Amino acid sequence: MLPNTNVADVPQRRAYYAHHPCPVKMPVPTIFCGARLRAILDHQPRHWLSFSLSSAFIFVSINQSQAFEENKKVMAIQATQIRKGMTIIHNGVPHKILEFHHHTPGNLRAMVQTRMRNLKTGTTTEHRFRSTESIERAVLEDHEMTYMYNDGSDYHFMNTETYEQVALSADDLGDMAGYLLPETVIQVQFYEGEPIGIDIPQVVELTVIETEPEVKGATVSNVGKPAKLETGITIQVPAFIKEGDKIRVDTTEGRYMERAR
């Protein structure tokens, strides 16, 4: 049974909570006053807190359940902890790290150079972080889904377990829409309960449906020509590639890799 809130029982309350930690999903009554209270309020979102006044003391309840759920969405890390494949929050938007390397230009401070993909637009950008800079690491939920169809404006996916369907726009998918074939199983990424993008393999195999005739005897891969693939995108391919060939494509850079075996 909880001790009562009488000010005279403050030592009793402190002893009680020191030996009876509350479960995460329960608000935790804590006693603060003066500078300590101001410090707490400065570091806690207001909607986590509730107050009750008793004499000279203010009793503050911090909803640890809500704090825990919100903190699961982001984690603070230093820029030096950035790794390939990690998702961070940059300019308020989730970005996936495609490449990174540490850079120390002369006598200047160390930097972390990154190439990352905006998970909402699909665009790829480069950004340089200071090594001491604090970065927000996003925690995404991945759901295995099957790409079903495109209705002209949205791309529709179905969860392979629950059969729930979601739709993402072409803007949501960005360049990644050009690598989707019906019945392809991929990972759809959710952030704060909403689908924000997809995670596709770095290499996919697609069929060439339109290109210039094969150049007889051409074997040099750096002699390129445009080729339209079955998803509708056009990339540069070697001169020896012909219509009907299945090729391997790097989805990160949108480039031809080799003829599929």
Q: What is the pLDDT of residues 223-246, one digit of tens each?
A: 789 999 999 999 999 999 999 999
User: Among 4-13, 185-194, 202-211, which stretch is predicted with the lowest mean pLDDT?
Assistant: 4-13
CA angle 247, 249, 251 (to 5 degrees): 160
Higher pLDDT, 5 or 218: 218
pLDDT for the residue 69: 47
- For the chain, list the strands marked E by DSSP: 28-32, 49-54, 57-62, 74-78, 87-90, 93-103, 111-118, 124-130, 134-138, 141-150, 154-159, 165-169, 185-191, 194-199, 203-211, 224-229, 234-238, 246-250, 255-259
Assign domain 72-138 one CATH number from 2.30.30.30, 3.40.50.2300, 3.40.50.1980, 3.30.200.20.
2.30.30.30
Strand partners, 127: 114
Q: Give the count of beta carbons closer than 10 Å to the beta carbon of residue 162.
A: 9
Strand partners, 107: none
Per-residue pLDDT reduced to its tens digit, 142-200: 899 999 999 988 999 999 999 999 998 887 787 888 999 999 999 998 887 888 788 88
Assign 250 a pLDDT band (cuts: 50, 70, 90). Answer: very high
pLDDT for the residue 2: 46
Cβ burial 41-60 (10 Å sphere, 16+ → b, else e): eeeeeeebeeeeeeeebeeb
Percentage of the chain lying above the pLDDT 90 cut:
30
Per-residue pLDDT reduced to its tens digit, 115-125: 998 877 778 89
Q: Has residue 17 got a pLDDT over 50?
A: no
pLDDT for the residue 221: 55
Please give the structure tokens belonging to residue 236. Answer: 């540069």
Per CATH, 141-199 and 203-259 having the same topology is answered yes
**44/194 Cα distance (integer angstroms):** 25
User: Among 14-18, 58-62, 89-93, 189-193, which stretch is predicted with the lowest mean pLDDT?
Assistant: 58-62
Coil, strand, or helix at residue 13? helix
**Interstrand relation of 224-229 and 203-211 (parallel, antiparallel or unpaired):** antiparallel
Element (H, E) at 41: helix 34-42
Nearest to 88 by CA among 142, 135, 143, 141: 135
Assign domain 141-199 one CATH number from 3.40.30.10, 2.40.50.140, 1.10.3080.10, 3.40.50.620.
2.40.50.140
Q: Has residue 214 got a pLDDT over 60?
A: yes
pTM of the full structure: 0.55
Coil, strand, or helix at residue 179? helix
Per-residue pLDDT reduced to its tens digit, 25-79: 334 444 444 444 444 445 444 444 444 444 344 444 444 444 444 444 567 888 8
User: Is domain 203-259 classified as CATH 2.60.120.10?
Assistant: no
Q: Residue ranges per domain, the chain?
A: 7-70, 72-138, 141-199, 203-259
Cβ burial 163-195 (10 Å sphere, 16+ → b, else e): eeebebeeebbbbbbbbbeeebebbbbebeeeb
